[in-house]
Chains A and B, each alone.
Chain A
Amino acid sequence: MVSMSALHSLTAELHAGFLTLAFVCIVIVAGSQIVVRYKSRMPKRLVNLAIRVRGYTEAAGYVGAVGGLLGLLLSAWTGMYAWPSSALLDSPEVRNKIMLTVFATVLWAMVVFVRLRFGRGLWTCPAMATLYVVLAFVAYGVVGMTGSLGAHLTLGESVLDPLWNLVGVDVGEDLALEPATAALLALLSMLGLILALWVARRKDLFSVRLDAETCQKFFKWDEPVIQPVNANK
């Protein structure tokens, strides 16, 4: 019988691997888009490489993000059973880890949502591409923080300890807000979102379908597609 603790280690490795792949691929696509944008100033060989690489890494990044999101959900489930249920919520470190895992899951869900809703065409619009890349950075950072707390629980230390020390965050203490403050934050967030959705509806912003043509007028950012091997020869 495989213990839940061993299964949790497995699923944690799974989501960490998938999400690292997704993050690296998204960064590579961003870099490639910049190279292609300034192709007149770049070596032709580098531009050709960027065009070819971005097609593959864009798809791999999407698959990695979806796989990582599923892995995160699986890790949350196995993690619930890996820790003695009576003591699950007794430790502030465990509580912080659960909270950061929830935040990481929501952030990666948003990464997947953006890619799912706007497709590869999001890379043709700099604003949307920037949002996608920044979101991936933040989401990956939160996953790293969650992993650091996991290392604290199992090994008593983490390679991120010097960073925690510098920031002055004590991961052994509750990072929770007062309920009233949390309620106010949720309320303001909801109001902000409702206002934004109202503006979007009035301006008919959601009818957009980003594709190779939509953002070409000013920026000429190509949509990353997988190129045939001899396409650039």
Chain B
Amino acid sequence: MKKLNVMFLLGAVSLAAVLLSPVMVASPGGIGDSDQEYGCVDPCHAVHSSSVITMTASTLEPLPGGSVTVTVTVTGAEADNTPLGVMLLSSLGGDNTQPSATGWTITADTSGVTKFNYNEVQSYAGSATFEWTLTAPSTPGIYKLYAREVHGDGAKYVNDFLTGLQFVVGEAVPPGKPFVLITPSSGSEVSGTITVIADVVSEAAIEYAVLTINGVVEGNLSSAPYAWDVDTTKYVDGPITVNVTAADSNGSKGYQEVTLTVNNAAESEYLLSWLATMAAGSVAIVAIVGILIVIALYMRARLMGGRGS
């Protein structure tokens, strides 16, 4: 009788501990001003927010090394007196997505003191404005900046300013020559299947764009969007040279070439860990249940005065 009661008490305490454990490890919302990469953000934000994001800049044609002020305004959204943050990014994919990855330097963020690419308001009430002052890349060319808004309050919301702002730094577009900007940016590490996107700008209509990898033609498109899915497992791990050449109706050609690093070995290690965890977890479950069955039978045998059956 007493043992029975103790057993149920222990069961109830265990159940309560399991149910209450989330509450005991809860953390306050928000992650504070910091440097953040594009991704799902910690904790992962995956639900599309109803917010409206606008993005403006003091100039879209800065000189190399010139100063640019970028303003991001968020209105709407599900957050109600809870934290909401915005990050300024140079791309919406890949490993290096902060503005510094393409040569931008943040000289001041919204606070005016720090230089983070992610700024947060602690109590969002319908609208918020974020402002960054940056130094433009020193190399003339076409550059883009994007914004991503994240907040919580019931779910993990996210909203990207997908079109971004396009900057022509210096004399980037000489007359009559198409300019190409490839994503992922040079130096990015890639694995599995990736999408190579080329933003092509020209004074004349674009006739076609050709993708070559390590000198081999992999695709040819005659209209935007100039995007190709590339299976990186075809290449040996290490650097690959990706080139997109565009030609316009005047017969002029322009190109950009980037070097990406293929690392499928890391992906294989991930898969090995995943398979090993599944196998080990399954074995552990069977073993634990088996041990508990033996314990239950042992307890029963003891209570029955040593009788096995």
Contacts and interface: CB of A to CB of B under 8 A. Distances in A.
A190 interface: yes
A13 interface: no
A156 B49 CA distance: 11
B293 A177 contact: no
B162 interface: no
A107 B308 contact: no
What secondary structure prevails in chain A residues at the interface with B?
helix
B156 A125 contact: no
B221 interface: no
Contacts of B42: 170
Interface stretch (A17-25, A46-54, A202-210): A202-210
A63 interface: no
A218 B299 CA distance: 12
Interface stretch (A1-9, A160-168, A225-233): A160-168
A183 B276 contact: yes
Given A106-B282, A106-B286, A207-B309, A130 B7 contact: yes
Nearest to A210: B300
A16 interface: no
A174, A205, A215 interface centre (most CB from chain B within 10 Å): A205
B280 A161 contact: no
A69 B21 CA distance: 29
A206 to B, nearest CB: 7
Contacts, number: 186
Contacts of B43: 164-165, 168-170
Interface string A83-98: 0001101100001001
Contacts of B279: 182, 186
A228 B54 CA distance: 72
Contact of A126 (B7, B40, B193): B7
Contacts of B113: none
Given A103-B282, A175-B277, A206 B297 contact: yes
Interface residues of A, number: 72
B296 interface: yes
Contacts of A182: 273, 276-277, 279-281
A91 to B, nearest CB: 10
Interface string B263-282: 00000001111101111111
Contacts of B282: 102-103, 106
Interface residues of B, number: 61
B236 interface: no
B272 to A, nearest CB: 6
A169 B156 CA distance: 13
Given A130-B11, A177-B276, A208-B309, A189 B284 contact: yes
A130 B12 CA distance: 11
B235 interface: no
A197 to B, nearest CB: 7
Given A110-B289, A193-B290, A166 B22 contact: yes
B22 A170 contact: no
Contacts of B278: 98-99, 102-103
Contacts of B280: 177, 182-183, 185-186, 189
A146 B152 CA distance: 22
24 contacts: A89-B271, A99-B277, A99-B278, A114-B293, A130-B8, A131-B296, A156-B48, A161-B154, A162-B154, A165-B156, A167-B25, A168-B43, A169-B43, A170-B40, A170-B42, A170-B43, A171-B44, A176-B277, A182-B277, A192-B291, A193-B290, A203-B308, A205-B297, A215-B303
Q: Which 6 A-B pairs have the closest CB atoms?
A: A189-B287, A172-B44, A182-B276, A182-B280, A166-B22, A127-B296
Given A106-B286, A134-B11, A165-B43, 5 more contacts: A99-B277, A157-B155, A161-B47, A177-B280, A205-B301
Interface of A: 34, 37, 86-87, 89-90, 95, 98-99, 102-103, 106-107, 110, 113-114, 125-128, 130-131, 133-135, 137, 152, 156-157, 161-179, 182-183, 185-186, 189-190, 192-193, 196-197, 199-200, 203-209, 214-215, 217-219
